[in-house]
Amino acid sequence: MITGRRPTDNTFDGIIDLCKHVEMALNNSVMEVIDKELVMELENENGTTGGPSSKRRVNSMISLLKLGMLCSVEMPSRRMSTKEIIKELHLIKKTLAYREEGSR
């Protein structure tokens, strides 16, 4: 949802998959993996890419990407529990909502 790509996307050549692609981007260039339409929507909403509101939303997307990575660990026994995932999602939502209200 955040990358705008499917795990079976033709971009991935069998050597690299969506998870590896996101993992590499988290270390180097995270904006490259965020769906361009989503970035444009944020820019249109705020009128800027560098504003505090835009940065908060991008940080929330990064948190969601990291959570997605934790949910995609190859060994199921090492993945987060559903309860932990829901807790993290609520925390991201709460943080974003708090920050959004604080910027008004």
Helical ranges in 16-81 per DSSP H: 18-27, 36-46, 52-71
Q: What angle do CA 13, 17, 20 make, to 5 degrees?
A: 130
Asked whether residue 8 is assigned to any structural domain, the reply reads: no
Quote the pTM value.
0.70
User: Into how many domains does the chain fold?
Assistant: 1
Residues 85 and 67: beta-carbon distance below 8 Å: yes
| Residue 98 belongs to a domain | yes
CA distance 8 to 5: 8
Residue 82 lies in a domain: yes
Does some domain include residue 11?
A: no
**Domain membership of residue 51 as a residue range:** 18-102
**Residue 76 falls inside a structural domain:** yes
Instruction: Tell me, yes or no, whether 27 lies in a domain.
Output: yes
70, part of any domain: yes
- Collapsing DSSP to helix, strand or coil, 96 comes out as helix
Within a domain: residue 10? no
Predicted confidence pLDDT, tens digits, the chain (104 residues): 677 666 666 666 666 777 777 887 887 787 778 888 877 777 776 555 566 667 778 788 889 888 988 888 888 898 899 999 999 999 989 877 765 555 55
Contact assessment for residue 58 and residue 34, using Cβ atoms and an 8 Å cutoff: yes
